[in-house]
Amino acid sequence: MLVHAGHASARKFFTPSTAPSYDAVVGITTFGRDAAWKREILKVVSGHGPVLDLACGTGILTSMIRETGRPVAGLDFTRDYLEIAKDKMGPLFAQGTAEVLPYRDGTFDAVVSSYLAKYVDVSLMVCECLRVLKPGGIVVLHDFACPGGAMRSLWNAYFAALRLAGTFARSWKPVFDGLDSVICQSRWEEQAIDAMQKCGFQGVAGRHLTLGTAAIVVGRKP
Ligand SMILES: C[S@@+](CC[C@H](N)C(=O)[O-])C[C@H]1O[C@@H](n2cnc3c(N)ncnc32)[C@H](O)[C@@H]1O
Protein backbone atom coordinates (compact mmCIF):
# COMPACT_ATOMS: atom_id res chain seq x y z
CA MET A 1 0.00 0.00 0.00
CA LEU A 2 1.24 3.50 -0.85
CA VAL A 3 2.07 5.76 2.08
CA HIS A 4 2.93 9.37 1.28
CA ALA A 5 2.66 12.26 3.78
CA GLY A 6 0.50 14.17 1.30
CA HIS A 7 -2.17 11.46 1.40
CA ALA A 8 -2.81 12.19 5.08
CA SER A 9 -3.29 15.91 4.37
CA ALA A 10 -5.62 15.16 1.46
CA ARG A 11 -7.71 12.75 3.59
CA LYS A 12 -7.99 15.45 6.27
CA PHE A 13 -8.96 18.22 3.82
CA PHE A 14 -11.28 16.46 1.33
CA THR A 15 -14.15 15.06 3.36
CA PRO A 16 -17.92 14.60 3.11
CA SER A 17 -18.32 17.94 4.90
CA THR A 18 -16.20 20.01 2.44
CA ALA A 19 -17.48 18.36 -0.76
CA PRO A 20 -20.86 20.16 -1.11
CA SER A 21 -19.37 23.67 -0.77
CA TYR A 22 -16.06 22.99 -2.61
CA ASP A 23 -16.95 24.71 -5.92
CA ALA A 24 -18.05 27.93 -4.21
CA VAL A 25 -15.16 27.96 -1.73
CA VAL A 26 -12.41 27.44 -4.35
CA GLY A 27 -13.82 30.29 -6.47
CA ILE A 28 -14.17 32.74 -3.56
CA THR A 29 -10.90 31.94 -1.76
CA THR A 30 -8.79 32.27 -4.93
CA PHE A 31 -10.57 35.53 -5.89
CA GLY A 32 -11.59 33.90 -9.18
CA ARG A 33 -8.01 32.90 -10.08
CA ASP A 34 -9.05 29.24 -10.01
CA ALA A 35 -11.04 29.67 -13.24
CA ALA A 36 -8.20 31.70 -14.81
CA TRP A 37 -5.60 29.05 -13.88
CA LYS A 38 -7.79 26.30 -15.30
CA ARG A 39 -8.13 28.29 -18.54
CA GLU A 40 -4.30 28.33 -18.71
CA ILE A 41 -4.33 24.52 -18.51
CA LEU A 42 -6.92 24.39 -21.30
CA LYS A 43 -4.73 26.61 -23.50
CA VAL A 44 -1.77 24.25 -23.09
CA VAL A 45 -3.79 21.15 -24.02
CA SER A 46 -5.87 22.76 -26.78
CA GLY A 47 -6.17 20.37 -29.70
CA HIS A 48 -5.38 17.36 -27.50
CA GLY A 49 -8.03 14.74 -26.73
CA PRO A 50 -8.92 12.38 -25.07
CA VAL A 51 -7.90 14.03 -21.81
CA LEU A 52 -7.51 12.57 -18.29
CA ASP A 53 -8.26 14.97 -15.40
CA LEU A 54 -6.26 13.57 -12.48
CA ALA A 55 -7.69 14.35 -9.03
CA CYS A 56 -10.76 15.74 -10.75
CA GLY A 57 -12.54 16.42 -7.43
CA THR A 58 -16.04 17.71 -8.11
CA GLY A 59 -15.28 17.94 -11.84
CA ILE A 60 -14.78 21.70 -12.34
CA LEU A 61 -11.88 21.28 -14.80
CA THR A 62 -13.40 18.09 -16.24
CA SER A 63 -16.52 19.97 -17.27
CA MET A 64 -14.48 22.85 -18.74
CA ILE A 65 -12.64 20.26 -20.88
CA ARG A 66 -15.88 18.58 -21.90
CA GLU A 67 -17.31 21.94 -22.98
CA THR A 68 -14.49 22.14 -25.56
CA GLY A 69 -15.96 19.00 -27.18
CA ARG A 70 -13.14 16.61 -26.27
CA PRO A 71 -13.55 13.18 -24.66
CA VAL A 72 -12.51 13.37 -21.02
CA ALA A 73 -12.19 11.03 -18.04
CA GLY A 74 -11.65 11.91 -14.38
CA LEU A 75 -10.01 10.08 -11.48
CA ASP A 76 -10.00 10.97 -7.79
CA PHE A 77 -9.64 9.09 -4.50
CA THR A 78 -12.36 10.93 -2.53
CA ARG A 79 -15.76 9.32 -3.01
CA ASP A 80 -17.87 12.30 -1.90
CA TYR A 81 -16.13 14.61 -4.39
CA LEU A 82 -16.55 12.05 -7.19
CA GLU A 83 -20.26 11.69 -6.41
CA ILE A 84 -20.71 15.41 -7.08
CA ALA A 85 -18.74 15.13 -10.33
CA LYS A 86 -20.90 12.17 -11.40
CA ASP A 87 -24.10 14.10 -10.60
CA LYS A 88 -22.88 16.87 -12.91
CA MET A 89 -21.55 14.78 -15.77
CA GLY A 90 -22.45 11.11 -15.48
CA PRO A 91 -20.17 8.06 -15.32
CA LEU A 92 -16.91 9.48 -16.72
CA PHE A 93 -15.12 8.96 -13.44
CA ALA A 94 -13.03 6.37 -11.62
CA GLN A 95 -12.01 6.17 -7.97
CA GLY A 96 -8.31 5.55 -7.35
CA THR A 97 -4.97 7.07 -6.53
CA ALA A 98 -3.00 9.14 -9.02
CA GLU A 99 0.17 7.08 -8.51
CA VAL A 100 -1.39 3.83 -9.86
CA LEU A 101 -3.67 4.57 -12.80
CA PRO A 102 -6.35 2.09 -13.89
CA TYR A 103 -5.90 2.83 -17.61
CA ARG A 104 -4.09 1.01 -20.43
CA ASP A 105 -0.79 2.23 -21.85
CA GLY A 106 -1.22 4.97 -24.46
CA THR A 107 -4.87 5.82 -23.71
CA PHE A 108 -4.76 9.66 -23.55
CA ASP A 109 -3.50 12.62 -25.59
CA ALA A 110 -3.24 14.75 -22.46
CA VAL A 111 -3.18 14.32 -18.68
CA VAL A 112 -3.97 17.39 -16.57
CA SER A 113 -4.22 18.02 -12.85
CA SER A 114 -5.14 20.98 -10.70
CA TYR A 115 -4.11 21.12 -7.00
CA LEU A 116 -2.91 17.50 -6.85
CA ALA A 117 0.90 17.54 -7.07
CA LYS A 118 1.56 18.59 -3.44
CA TYR A 119 -0.39 15.58 -2.13
CA VAL A 120 1.26 12.75 -4.09
CA ASP A 121 4.48 10.93 -4.76
CA VAL A 122 5.25 13.07 -7.79
CA SER A 123 7.83 10.67 -9.28
CA LEU A 124 5.38 7.75 -9.31
CA MET A 125 2.56 9.90 -10.64
CA VAL A 126 4.62 11.42 -13.44
CA CYS A 127 5.84 8.01 -14.67
CA GLU A 128 2.24 6.74 -14.63
CA CYS A 129 1.24 9.78 -16.70
CA LEU A 130 3.94 8.89 -19.24
CA ARG A 131 2.64 5.32 -19.41
CA VAL A 132 -1.01 6.26 -20.08
CA LEU A 133 -0.11 8.97 -22.64
CA LYS A 134 0.09 8.33 -26.37
CA PRO A 135 3.35 9.33 -28.12
CA GLY A 136 3.27 13.13 -28.52
CA GLY A 137 0.90 13.40 -25.54
CA ILE A 138 1.25 16.17 -22.99
CA VAL A 139 1.10 16.35 -19.19
CA VAL A 140 0.17 19.59 -17.39
CA LEU A 141 0.46 19.81 -13.60
CA HIS A 142 -0.95 22.90 -11.89
CA ASP A 143 -0.88 23.63 -8.17
CA PHE A 144 -0.40 26.36 -5.58
CA ALA A 145 3.14 27.61 -4.97
CA CYS A 146 4.75 29.30 -1.99
CA PRO A 147 5.57 32.87 -3.06
CA GLY A 148 8.77 34.66 -2.09
CA GLY A 149 9.74 38.31 -1.66
CA ALA A 150 7.18 41.00 -0.85
CA MET A 151 4.30 38.77 -1.96
CA ARG A 152 5.05 36.36 0.90
CA SER A 153 3.94 38.84 3.60
CA LEU A 154 0.68 39.51 1.79
CA TRP A 155 0.15 35.77 1.32
CA ASN A 156 0.80 35.13 5.05
CA ALA A 157 -1.72 37.84 5.95
CA TYR A 158 -4.24 36.24 3.61
CA PHE A 159 -3.83 32.86 5.33
CA ALA A 160 -4.19 34.53 8.75
CA ALA A 161 -7.55 35.89 7.54
CA LEU A 162 -8.51 32.42 6.24
CA ARG A 163 -7.71 30.91 9.66
CA LEU A 164 -10.10 33.42 11.20
CA ALA A 165 -12.75 32.48 8.62
CA GLY A 166 -12.28 28.85 9.69
CA THR A 167 -13.66 29.67 13.15
CA PHE A 168 -17.02 30.35 11.43
CA ALA A 169 -16.85 27.91 8.48
CA ARG A 170 -16.08 24.90 10.70
CA SER A 171 -16.00 22.25 7.98
CA TRP A 172 -13.22 24.18 6.23
CA LYS A 173 -11.17 24.81 9.38
CA PRO A 174 -8.63 21.98 8.79
CA VAL A 175 -7.98 23.32 5.27
CA PHE A 176 -7.76 26.98 6.27
CA ASP A 177 -5.48 26.11 9.21
CA GLY A 178 -3.13 23.75 7.38
CA LEU A 179 -3.02 24.50 3.65
CA ASP A 180 -0.28 27.16 3.78
CA SER A 181 2.21 24.83 5.48
CA VAL A 182 1.38 21.97 3.09
CA ILE A 183 2.07 24.35 0.17
CA CYS A 184 5.32 25.74 1.57
CA GLN A 185 6.67 22.34 2.66
CA SER A 186 6.01 20.86 -0.78
CA ARG A 187 8.76 20.85 -3.39
CA TRP A 188 6.37 19.65 -6.07
CA GLU A 189 7.62 21.92 -8.88
CA GLU A 190 11.30 20.86 -8.62
CA GLN A 191 10.25 17.24 -8.04
CA ALA A 192 7.93 17.25 -11.06
CA ILE A 193 10.56 18.77 -13.37
CA ASP A 194 13.19 16.31 -12.15
CA ALA A 195 10.83 13.30 -12.38
CA MET A 196 9.58 14.24 -15.85
CA GLN A 197 13.15 14.51 -17.14
CA LYS A 198 14.13 11.17 -15.54
CA CYS A 199 11.01 9.36 -16.84
CA GLY A 200 11.72 10.52 -20.38
CA PHE A 201 9.42 13.49 -21.00
CA GLN A 202 10.73 16.13 -23.39
CA GLY A 203 10.30 19.92 -23.43
CA VAL A 204 9.87 19.94 -19.65
CA ALA A 205 9.23 23.47 -18.39
CA GLY A 206 7.66 25.20 -15.41
CA ARG A 207 6.33 28.71 -14.93
CA HIS A 208 4.75 30.72 -12.15
CA LEU A 209 1.31 32.29 -12.27
CA THR A 210 -0.26 35.18 -10.34
CA LEU A 211 2.82 36.60 -8.57
CA GLY A 212 4.23 33.20 -7.69
CA THR A 213 1.12 31.92 -5.87
CA ALA A 214 0.63 29.06 -8.35
CA ALA A 215 2.66 27.21 -10.98
CA ILE A 216 2.29 25.02 -14.03
CA VAL A 217 4.75 22.32 -15.09
CA VAL A 218 4.47 20.81 -18.58
CA GLY A 219 6.14 17.93 -20.44
CA ARG A 220 5.64 16.01 -23.69
CA LYS A 221 5.95 12.27 -24.30
CA PRO A 222 8.37 11.64 -27.19
C1 LIG B 1 -8.25 20.83 -4.09
S2 LIG B 1 -9.04 19.42 -4.75
C3 LIG B 1 -8.93 19.78 -6.48
C4 LIG B 1 -10.03 19.18 -7.29
C5 LIG B 1 -10.01 19.59 -8.76
N6 LIG B 1 -8.79 19.16 -9.41
C7 LIG B 1 -10.16 21.07 -8.90
O8 LIG B 1 -9.25 21.70 -9.42
O9 LIG B 1 -11.20 21.59 -8.51
C10 LIG B 1 -7.79 18.18 -4.59
C11 LIG B 1 -8.31 16.83 -5.00
O12 LIG B 1 -7.19 15.93 -5.04
C13 LIG B 1 -7.67 14.66 -4.68
N14 LIG B 1 -6.51 13.84 -4.35
C15 LIG B 1 -5.55 14.12 -3.44
N16 LIG B 1 -4.62 13.15 -3.45
C17 LIG B 1 -4.98 12.26 -4.41
C18 LIG B 1 -4.41 11.06 -4.91
N19 LIG B 1 -3.28 10.56 -4.41
N20 LIG B 1 -5.04 10.41 -5.92
C21 LIG B 1 -6.21 10.90 -6.42
N22 LIG B 1 -6.79 12.02 -5.98
C23 LIG B 1 -6.19 12.70 -4.99
C24 LIG B 1 -8.61 14.94 -3.54
O25 LIG B 1 -9.48 13.88 -3.32
C26 LIG B 1 -9.31 16.20 -4.05
O27 LIG B 1 -10.49 15.89 -4.74
Residue scoring higher pLDDT (7 or 112): 112
Rounded average pLDDT over 152-174 = 95
CA–centroid distance, residue 116 to ligand 1 (Å): 5
pTM score, two decimals? 0.96
Judge whether residue 221 has pLDDT over 80.
yes
DSSP 14-57: S-TTTGGGHHHHHHHHTTTHHHHHHHHHHHHTTT--SEEEET-T
Please check whether residue 158 lies inside any domain of the structure.
no
Ligand 1 atom closest to the CA of 78, numbered from 1: 25
The reply to whether ligand 1 has any atom less than 6 angstroms from the CB of 147 is no
How high is the pLDDT of residue 5?
82
The reply to whether ligand 1 has any atom less than 6 angstroms from the CB of 10 is yes
Ligand 1 pocket test: pick from 11, 14, 41, 99 the residue with the most ligand atoms within 8 Å of its Cβ: 14
CA–centroid distance, residue 119 to ligand 1 (Å): 8
Domain that holds residue 55: 5-145+187-220
Count of CA atoms in the C-beta half-sphere (13 A) of 88: 20
Please check whether residue 48 lies inside any domain of the structure.
yes
Q: Per residue in 59-98, pLDDT tens?
A: 999 999 999 999 999 999 999 999 999 999 998 899 999 9
Please check whether residue 13 lies inside any domain of the structure.
yes
Please check whether residue 209 lies inside any domain of the structure.
yes
Please check whether residue 20 lies inside any domain of the structure.
yes
Please check whether residue 112 lies inside any domain of the structure.
yes
How high is the pLDDT of residue 2?
59
Judge whether residue 209 has pLDDT over 60.
yes
CA–centroid distance, residue 98 to ligand 1 (Å): 9
Please check whether residue 152 lies inside any domain of the structure.
no
Please check whether residue 17 lies inside any domain of the structure.
yes
In the chain, the number of structural domains is 1
CATH number at residue 103: 3.40.50.150
Find out whether the peptide bond into 20 is cis, omega within 30 degrees of 0: no
The reply to whether ligand 1 has any atom less than 6 angstroms from the CB of 125 is no
